[in-house]
Structure 1
Amino acid sequence: MVSRRLLLGALAGLAAPAIAFAEGDGPAPSLLTRKGRRTRSALKHQATDKAALDKALAEVKPLEAHPAVHTPAAEPAVTPDEALGRLKHGNAIYARGGANLMLPTMARIAELSQGQHPFAVVIGCADSRTAPELVFDCNMGELFVVRVAGSTVGREGLGSILYAVEHLGAPLIVVLGHTKCGAVGAAVDVAKKHTEMHGALQEMVLPIIPAVLEADETHPADLQDAAIRRNVRDIAGRLKRADEVLTERIADGRLKVVSACYDLGTGVVSFDT
């Protein structure tokens, strides 16, 4: 294999040392003498690199064209209800303090290197206290997790979800919020107190504001908690119509989309089903 720096160094003369320095490897290049001439050692180094490159390129074989291969969509290994039952059972274990915190064995790690088959997609908040693998007593390779503050879903997140459903066969999507969510609290402040947020922080809370306004009409006394639950319900509802892959699988009974809320104080997840 021809190294990137070797290739660029041969094509651009003496650029390789500069590239190495820019990428954090090696000292700053000093290829010129005080008189502005290249040193003999630099020229010798260039010649050596050029010879090595010529030899490597001579050994490269042309790529062979391969026919296009269509990969069929993966089918769920378990039903949506079975997947939901596993999550509920795992959370019950976690909430009573009996969660399995064993790390995966090397055999399991080697097995997962060959492929993954998660039984559920969890769209969660980035809050450090809400790791889905712990909350649902799951191990590596069992959950496909997409996490953003406020449990919102943008286009990139939707693409990740579609990949997990269509290509990995996940039969369940859970939109998981949690009590005392700071992102939702910030959205409440923006909607009700006209708090100003800058840049990406403003973009983070904007998708949550509709849920805040909806919750304000029914539960103004406990607005943050109501908005947290309204937010995940709204996201789950929109996901059901977000892409034909999801709508078709839901109609066929191969996929279920549910919302839920994790209580930081008790460890219990309440599902909206």
Structure 2
Amino acid sequence: MVSRRILLGALMGVAAPALAFAEGDGHAPNLLTKKGRRTSSALRHQAGDKAALDKALAAVKPMEVEPPPAPAAPVQDVSPDEALGRLKQGNAIFARGGANLMLPTMARVADLSKGQKPFAVVIGCADSRTAPELVFDCNLGELFVIRVAGSTVGREGLGSIVYAVEHLGAPLIVVLGHTKCGAVGAAVDVAKKHAELHGALHEMVLPIIPAVLEADETHPADLQDAAIRRNVRDIAGRLKVADGVLAERIEEGRLKVVSACYDLTTGVVAFDA
């Protein structure tokens, strides 16, 4: 790189002593007369040097810095069908009592601290008996789980789903309901028996009521069970068009959205696909 001293000297023809002082070498040139006052010629010379310096610096173009490259899109290790097959196989193992209940090793924990790559998103109920990691015989870092009573999805939940698909590369979304769901039962009571729920409980069941009314037209005899299955199917259907990222990946074959229902008695998950 050309030193600042040579550059300024070539541009302006400034005297070497002044340049040496500007670079931190030597002493300041003597611009004072014997009487201790600046002469007019010295002042004019100094003003000319400053003007030339300002002009030269103004002409210097800043260095162009290349912007950092955009982060690469996550690469999918499994297809949507392969991910679905993993869940079905894991549930079959769980249902026959052979699930692996070993806790993750500290090596696995340390490895996951560097990042995550879940192979499926599971939208489940908050019911304590329906933990997806256990039901599908999965371990830490394999499932991206969103749980709300009744398996409903609000705006925050949708944002979490889009994040898992767009930034983590998850190729599968499963909306998982379960038998004897209390949240759906409460929605049935509100819709059919005019039960009153207060505050947040009322808000919790409101998204489920349309599924209750639909199920009542076809399966009034076992309304709660029919509403449970209708609810997760409706949510899965809405997710397919709820966000452009999801819709695009579905169209490209890189994402699948399915609904399913877990049987509390048998441990079996029945998928709709």
SS in 1 for 2:221: helix
Paired residue for 1:125?
A: 125
In structure 1, how many angstroms separate the alpha carbons of the residues matched to 2:158 and 2:192? 29
Partner Cα separation in structure 1 for residue 159 and residue 72 of structure 2: 18
CA deviation string 1:233-273 (max 9, x = no partner): 00000000001100110011100000000000000000001
- Map 1:29-40 onto structure 2 (within 5 A): none
d(CA) in 2 for partners of 1:167 and 1:270? 29
Match of 1:254 in 2: 254
Larger radius of gyration: 2
Matched positions, count: 209
Residues 66/140 of structure 1: CA separation in 2 closer, same or farther (3 Å cut) = farther
> What SS is found at the alignment partner of 1:228?
helix
Read off the aligned partner of 2:127 and give its amino acid letter: D
Note the 1:33-182 alignment, pairs <5 A: 70-182=70-182
Alignment TM-score, normalising by the size of structure 2: 0.75
Q: What residue in structure 1 maps to residue 199 of structure 2? A: 199
The change in CA–CA distance for 1:110 and 1:221 in structure 2 (over 3 A counts) is same
Q: 2:146 aligns to what SS in structure 1?
A: strand
The code of the aligned residue for 1:123 comes to: I
C-alpha distance in 2 between matches for 1:167 and 1:238 = 21
Separation (CA, whole Å) in 2 of partners of 1:76 and 1:224: 38
Distance, in Å, in 2 between the alignment partners of 1:234 and 1:78 is 26
- Cα distance in structure 2, aligned partners of 1:205 and 1:68: 47
State the shift of 1:231 in Å.
Answer: 0.1
Match of 2:264 in 1: 264
In 2, Cα distance between equivalents of 1:103 and 1:136: 15
Unaligned runs of 5+ in 1: 1-64
Tell me the CA shift for residue 70 of structure 1: 3.0
Name the aligned partner's letter for residue 141 of structure 1. G
Gaps of 5+ in 2: 1-64
Match of 1:225 in 2: 225
User: What do the CA deviations read for 1:115-164 (whole angstroms, capped 9, x no partner)?
Assistant: 00000000000000000000000000000000000000000000000000
Q: Distance in 2 between matches of 1:187 and 1:72?
A: 44
Instruction: Report the secondary structure of 1:220's partner residue.
Output: coil
TM-score by length of 1: 0.75
**SS at 2:99 equivalent:** coil
Match for residue 57 of structure 2? Answer: none
Structure 1, 68-77 or 196-205: larger mean CA deviation = 68-77
Aligned mates of 2:68, 2:208 — CA distance in 1? 42
Rounded to whole Å, the distance in 2 between the matches of 1:66 and 1:189 is: 62
SS in 1 for 2:202: helix
